[in-house]
Amino acid sequence: MSAVTVHQADNAPRFQAGTEHVESWFFRANHPTEPRAIWLKATILSRRGGAVAEAWCSLFDGDRDRALGRKVTVPMASARIGGSSLGIHVEGCSFQLGADRGSAKGTLGEFSWDLSWERLPGPLGEPLCMLPSRRLVDARLPRNKLLTPSPVLLCSGTARWGGQTWSMERWPGMQGHNWGRAHSPEYAWGQCVFSSELGEPVCTVEAASGRVALGGRTSPLLALMSIRRGGRVYRFDRLLDLWNRDARIDFPEWTLRMKGPAGEALLSMRARPERMVCLGYENPSGQLSHCLNSKLAAVSLRVNPVNEEAFECRSLHGGALEFLQREPVSAIPEVV
């Protein structure tokens, strides 16, 4: 399949009416050099008694150590999600997710945005499956799926909030899609687009570690990581290598050490609570989890590939970092 076909399939909705289901499409973009970022998300929550659709927007201003967000929730019948070039419309917020291009326009309270983006051509921007095999994407297990139709994109447009106007010109970012019967009991997820001194994307990393529900209990932390640098891909996702992974979630820091056939990798990400927002993620059961969300995380990546020279990548504030846990953190404002 071509990258275009895969991109369209990866964004295709998996929601079926009458099932317990959570599903999200999300987008973010970061200023190439300054600590500013925007994050947008559309979600479906299907539970006993019906389904709802939500739209979320959060903006992160590191210069002022501020992060604020808003959301809107409507009955699923009031939203529109579908089409070959996926269109998502929730209240006054709309997304268009095409094969190589996308757009978002909307207003939530004092927030408004009008954005368009294009997927970076070449190996860095090709769709990414975080699962060990694409055959697992629509399989019964694992219950939670994570795809990245656009690991690297370039975004332009405007965003307004708090009396400010951000003019964006080719801000690097990404677009992802995930779904499952419920949210994982606990996870950390991170992604970063590293750029050269000239501002061109040269390397990406995406990783996740989390627990899964097993017969009323939760598993140890499981972890996956994928790194792209130029035309090379370094994957750490084999089930056989579970014992070669060391994932440590110590909010607001996350460290992941990985070993496998590709070599060794160490990912360290750290967020500043004053630059984060808290999102309440409801499960179909009614249980509430809290997503502590940063789009200005500091990132350090060290990779020692097999039969290749080791390399390092760093970003002061270009990382997307999320922690999901049962309890909120009082210092972090909740998006309402």
Please compute the mean of the pLDDT values over residues 16-45 and round it to a whole number: 96
Residue 6 in this model has a pLDDT that exceeds 80:
no
Asked whether residue 333 is assigned to any structural domain, the reply reads no
Asked whether residue 68 is assigned to any structural domain, the reply reads yes
pLDDT at 139: 82
pLDDT at 222: 83
Asked whether residue 277 is assigned to any structural domain, the reply reads yes
The size of the chain, in residues, is: 336
Asked whether residue 179 is assigned to any structural domain, the reply reads yes
Q: What is the pLDDT of residues 94-135, one digit of tens each?
A: 999 998 999 999 999 999 999 999 999 999 999 999 888 888
User: Token pair for residue 10?
Assistant: 């990866």
Q: What is the pLDDT of residues 197-235, one digit of tens each?
A: 888 999 999 999 987 766 667 667 789 999 999 899 999
| CB distance 222 to 239 below 8 Å | no
Is the entire prediction scored with pTM above 0.85?
yes
Dihedral Cα 79, 179, 8, 52, nearest 10 deg: 0
Q: What is the pLDDT of residues 156-172, one digit of tens each?
A: 999 999 889 999 999 99
- Residue 194 domain boundaries: 3-325
Of the candidates 175, 211, 217, 195, the one whose C-alpha atom is nearest the C-alpha of residue 314 is 195
From residue 160, alpha-carbon distances to 21, 38, 107, 165, 171 in Å are 33, 11, 9, 4, 16
* Structural domain total, the chain: 1
Please state which of the ranges 2-16, 200-214, 301-315 shows the lowest mean pLDDT. Answer: 2-16
| % of the chain exceeding 90 in pLDDT | 76
Asked whether residue 330 is assigned to any structural domain, the reply reads no
Asked whether residue 335 is assigned to any structural domain, the reply reads no
Residue 181 in this model has a pLDDT that exceeds 80:
yes
The domain that contains 126 carries what CATH number?
2.40.370.10
Query: Could you count the other beta carbons within 10 Å of the beta carbon of residue 153?
Result: 25
Asked whether residue 334 is assigned to any structural domain, the reply reads no
| CB distance 59 to 161 below 8 Å | yes
pLDDT at 216: 64
Mention every residue, 6+ apart, whose C-beta is less than 8 A from residue 261: 238, 241, 306
CA–CA dist 220, 211 (Å, integer): 6
Of the candidates 218, 111, 217, 211, the one whose C-alpha atom is nearest the C-alpha of residue 165 is 111
**Sign of the four-CA dihedral 292, 293, 296, 297:** positive
pLDDT band of 240, cuts 50, 70, 90? low
Which range of 66-70, 143-147, 178-182, 294-298 scores highest in mean pLDDT? It is 294-298
Query: Checking DSSP bridges between strand 164-180 and strand 186-195, what pairing results, if any?
Result: unpaired
Of the candidates 230, 252, 249, 247, the one whose C-alpha atom is nearest the C-alpha of residue 311 is 230
Of the candidates 67, 55, 58, 70, the one whose C-alpha atom is nearest the C-alpha of residue 25 is 55
